[in-house]
Amino acid sequence: MEILVTCSAFTILAITLIAIILAKLITVIYRKQTYWKSRQVPYIRSVPILGVMWKFFFRRITILELSDEMYNSYPNARYVGFISAIFPAVLIRDPDLIRDVAVKYFDHFTDRYNFVNEEIEPMFGKSLSLLRGERWKEMRNILSPSFTASKMRFMFQLVSKCSQDFVDYLVEHPEYSSFIEAKDAFARYTNDVIFTVAFGINVNSLKDRENEYFVRGKTIFDDIFGSIFKVLIINTCPAFAKMIGMKIVSPATTSLFRRTISDALKTRREQGIVRPDMLHLLMQAKDKDSETELTVDDIVSQAFTFFLAGFDSSSTMMCFMVYELALNPDIQEKLRNEVDQYFDETNGEINYETLSKMEYMDMVVSETNRKHTFSVFIDRVCTQEFELPPAEPGYNSVTIKPGDCVWFPDYALHHDPKYFPDPEKFDPERFNEENKGNILPYTYLPFGVGPRQCIGNRFALMEIKILMVHLLRKFVIKPNEKTSVPLVFKKANFALVPVDGWWFSLEKRKF
pLDDT at residue number 222: 64
Distance CA 501, CA 364 (A): 22
Q: Tell how far CA 28 is from the center of its chain.
A: 33
Distance CA 426, CA 247 (A): 40
How far is CA 120 from each of CA 130, 132, 453, 494, rounded to the nearest angstrom?
13, 17, 25, 21
- 144: exposed, middle or buried (Cβ count in 10 Å: 0-12, 13-18, 19+): middle
Listing from the earlier edge strand, what are the strands of the sheet with 405-408?
79-84, 87-92, 405-408, 378-381
User: Are β-strands 87-92 and 79-84 bridged in parallel, bridged antiparallel, or unpaired?
Assistant: antiparallel
The residues near 481 (Cβ < 8 Å, ≥ 6 apart) are none
Distance CA 194, CA 188 (A): 10
Do residues 403 and 64 make contact, with C-beta atoms less than 8 angstroms apart?
A: no
For every residue of 75-131, which 3-state class applies, written as one string? Answer: CCCCEEEEEECCEEEEEECCHHHHHHHHHHCHHHCCECCCCCCCCCCHHHHCCCCCC
pLDDT at residue number 491: 83
Do residues 120 and 247 make contact, with C-beta atoms less than 8 angstroms apart?
A: yes
Do residues 411 and 69 make contact, with C-beta atoms less than 8 angstroms apart?
A: no
CB count in 10 Å sphere of residue 176: 13
pLDDT at residue number 265: 82
The domain made up of 40-508 is a member of CATH 3.50.50.60? no
Distance CA 242, CA 344 (A): 59
- 445: exposed, middle or buried (Cβ count in 10 Å: 0-12, 13-18, 19+): buried
Nearest CA-CA partner of 325 in 467, 457, 220:
467
Do residues 318 and 471 make contact, with C-beta atoms less than 8 angstroms apart?
A: no
- 511: exposed, middle or buried (Cβ count in 10 Å: 0-12, 13-18, 19+): exposed
pTM here is 0.88
Distance CA 368, CA 461 (A): 11
Q: How many CA atoms lie within 13 A of 223 on its CB side?
A: 19
Question: Which strand (E) or helix (H) includes residue 56?
Answer: helix 54-57
Nearest CA-CA partner of 360 in 335, 328, 325:
335
φ/ψ of 375, rounded to 5, equals -90, 150
Do residues 201 and 227 make contact, with C-beta atoms less than 8 angstroms apart?
A: no
Does 382 carry a binding-site annotation?
no
Do residues 455 and 463 make contact, with C-beta atoms less than 8 angstroms apart?
A: no
Domain boundary assignment for the chain: 40-508
Distance CA 407, CA 79 (A): 10
Radius of gyration of the chain (CA): 25
3-state secondary structure at position 197: helix
CB count in 10 Å sphere of residue 35: 18
Distance CA 475, CA 510 (A): 9
Cα three-residue angle 305-311-316, rounded to 5 degrees: 130
Do residues 80 and 73 make contact, with C-beta atoms less than 8 angstroms apart?
A: yes
Question: Which strand (E) or helix (H) includes residue 400?
Answer: strand 398-400
Query: Per-residue pLDDT for the chain (511 aa), expressed as one digit of tens each?
Result: 555 455 566 677 777 777 777 666 666 556 666 788 888 899 998 877 677 887 887 788 898 999 999 999 999 999 999 988 768 899 999 999 999 999 999 999 999 887 666 666 766 777 777 788 888 888 888 778 878 888 888 889 989 999 999 999 999 999 999 999 999 999 999 989 988 887 778 888 999 888 888 887 777 766 665 555 666 666 666 666 666 666 667 777 778 888 888 888 888 888 887 777 777 777 777 655 556 667 777 788 777 777 777 778 899 999 999 999 999 999 999 999 999 999 999 988 899 999 999 999 999 999 999 999 988 999 999 999 999 999 999 898 999 999 899 999 999 999 999 999 999 999 999 999 999 999 999 999 999 999 999 888 999 999 999 999 999 999 999 999 999 999 999 886 777 889 999 999 999 998 7
Instruction: Classify each residue of 71-102 as buried b or exposed e, where b means 16 or more C-beta atoms within 10 Å of its C-beta.
Output: bebbeebbbbbbbbbebbbbbbbbbebbbbbb
pLDDT at residue number 4: 46
Helices marked H in 393-442 — which ranges? 410-414
Q: How does DSSP assign 303-324, residue by residue? A: HHHHHHHHHHHHHHHHHHHHHH
- 389: exposed, middle or buried (Cβ count in 10 Å: 0-12, 13-18, 19+): middle
